[in-house]
Amino acid sequence: MNPRATISAVPTQSSRLFRRLLSPVLLAAAIVTMTGCNSKEAQNVVSGKVTMNGQPVKGEVVLVGGGKEVPGPILNGEYRVENPPKGEVDVLVRAQPGMDVKIQAPPNVGSIKDGPALPGADGPQAGVAPPAKYAQPGNLDKFTVKGGKQKHDIDLKP
């Protein structure tokens, strides 16, 4: 019998090292797989369109209930409120402070359009400002938040 052809059942130092390194890697992979990579997407979301006379509205939607006020920005007539209070809520639509303020660049600074954009914005936001009365409770129908992902469109009257 050729001694070189014999397969040893005794683990070598390199195979022990390989197993020692592989075990934590496999354990980490199993944990990541079971937890779903720790997704940060909100589980409860209310979203929809905000219009007035068929035009998109700009500002923010605020859902008020259970002692909480949870706002969500309106971008190009569409809003998204993450983790709103559950149950019956008041719906408010309000202008964001300073949203109609025009900014002019000082001389020799360059164009404002070359500056950084707001997160989630693709340039100037289209839309009309909501009437001030919608910033107060009772001017829109209440809405029931059940949890999960819900659609709720809002049509304002001037």
**pLDDT, position 135:** 95
The phi, psi pair for 70, rounded to 5°, reads -120, 110
Tokens 């219009």 appear where? 51
The CA distances from residue 43 to 47, 84, 85, 152, in Å, are 13, 10, 12, 16
Predicted TM-score (pTM) of this structure: 0.61
Contact predicate 57/50, CB 8 Å? yes
**pLDDT, position 127:** 87
For the chain, which ranges sit under pLDDT 70? 1-40, 97-125
**pLDDT, position 90:** 97
- Contacts (Cβ under 8 Å, ≥6 apart) of 42: 82, 83
**pLDDT, position 115:** 41
**pLDDT, position 8:** 55
Superfamily of the domain at 45-156: Carboxypeptidase-like, regulatory domain (2.60.40.1120)
**pLDDT, position 142:** 94
**pLDDT, position 112:** 43
